[in-house]
């Protein structure tokens, strides 16, 4: 059990490569002596390590460990990996249904002739969103977290090995839909982007302050629906800046294209920064 958020730490993660249709399962376990062991098997072979499982599952232990410290070490390695390849990596976070995938697919389609964008897609189950990304022609890897409520740095490290994004490109990490735990876990990204739709409450920054405080960018989506919903844009902006005075805010509609040019300009400029 993860002491940080309560989701399963000794669990199973699946990485799905949509190009090869291969599924790789990863298991992470903590032994009584504190040793962390990770092993994997493919969907086809399903090879287990009986000695490891016997040692773990026949023993009941009480162990406290700094989950975030372990994660942060791996995140630093990911950050160095991105930097060495001039890759702009972004961590996209939101509640379920805020429009992350729609914004992402529109961004890829509009910028595919200017930027190379690869995607790590995070969900508890299914590869539905990854299939939508694949239709744009972008490279994509699906990570299913099972009972986990967020991506972590180790998942990203493994995903990158299969994704193999090109030099001088953008990697978009679409995190599991959740406004709590994703903010706690550094993935090695250059910037965190929190996405909030006008179909949610304008007080979300006050209700979930940590994710807005941790984010560099807030994208307010679905603004084409403003005539039909009770949402105060200025209050939302004021609340977000009350929590994080430095947060940069874009108001967009992925459906109509309104406001996307400013978001695109930010992406292009920050990719250039990574290349210097």
* pLDDT for the residue 40: 58
Could you tell me how many residues make up the chain? 276
Reported as a single tens digit per residue, the pLDDT across 36-52 is 445 555 544 343 444 44
pLDDT over threshold 90, residue 33 = no
Sequence-separated (6 or more) residues with CB below 8 Å from residue 90: 170, 171, 172, 173, 189, 190, 191, 192, 193
- Measuring CA to CA, which residue among 191, 214, 186, 211 is closest to residue 200? 211
pTM of the model: 0.82
Does residue 14 come out as left (phi exceeding 0), alpha (psi in the -120 to 50 range) or beta?
beta
Q: Rounded to an integer, what distance in angstroms lies between the CA atom of residue 2 and that of residue 180? A: 14
Q: Rounded to an integer, what distance in angstroms lies between the CA atom of residue 130 and that of residue 186? A: 22
Average model confidence (pLDDT) for the chain? Answer: 86
Q: Most confidently modeled of 12-16, 17-21, 126-130?
A: 126-130
């Amino acid at each position: 059990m993860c002491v940080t958020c309560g989701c399963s730490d000794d669990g199973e993660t699946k990485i799905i490569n949509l190009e090869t249709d291969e599924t790789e399962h990863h298991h992470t376990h903590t032994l009584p002596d504190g040793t962390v062991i990770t092993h994997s098997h493919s969907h086809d072979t399903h090879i287990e390590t009986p000695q490891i499982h016997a040692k773990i599952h026949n023993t009941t232990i009480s162990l406290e460990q700094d989950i975030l410290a372990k994660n942060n070490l791996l995140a630093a390695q990911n950050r160095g990996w991105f930097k060495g390849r001039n890759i702009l990596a972004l961590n996209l976070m939101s509640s379920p249904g805020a429009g992350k995938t729609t914004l992402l697919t529109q961004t890829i389609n509009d910028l595919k002739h200017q930027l190379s964008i690869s995607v790590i897609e995070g969900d508890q189950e299914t590869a539905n969103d990854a299939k939508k990304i694949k239709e744009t022609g972008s490279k994509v890897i699906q990570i299913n977290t099972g009972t986990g409520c967020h991506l972590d740095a180790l998942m990203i490290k493994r995903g990158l090995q299969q994704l193999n994004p090109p030099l001088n490109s953008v990697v978009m990490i679409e995190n599991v839909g959740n406004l709590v735990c994703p903010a706690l876990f550094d993935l090695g990204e250059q910037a965190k982007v929190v996405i909030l739709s006008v179909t949610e409450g304008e007080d979300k920054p006050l209700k979930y302050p940590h994710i807005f405080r941790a984010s560099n960018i807030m994208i307010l989506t679905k603004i084409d629906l403003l005539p039909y919903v009770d949402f105060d844009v200025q209050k939302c902006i004021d609340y977000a800046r009350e929590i994080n005075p430095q947060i940069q805010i874009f108001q967009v509609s992925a459906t109509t294209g309104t406001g996307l040019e400013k978001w695109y300009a930010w992406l292009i400029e920050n990719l250039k920064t990574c290349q210097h």
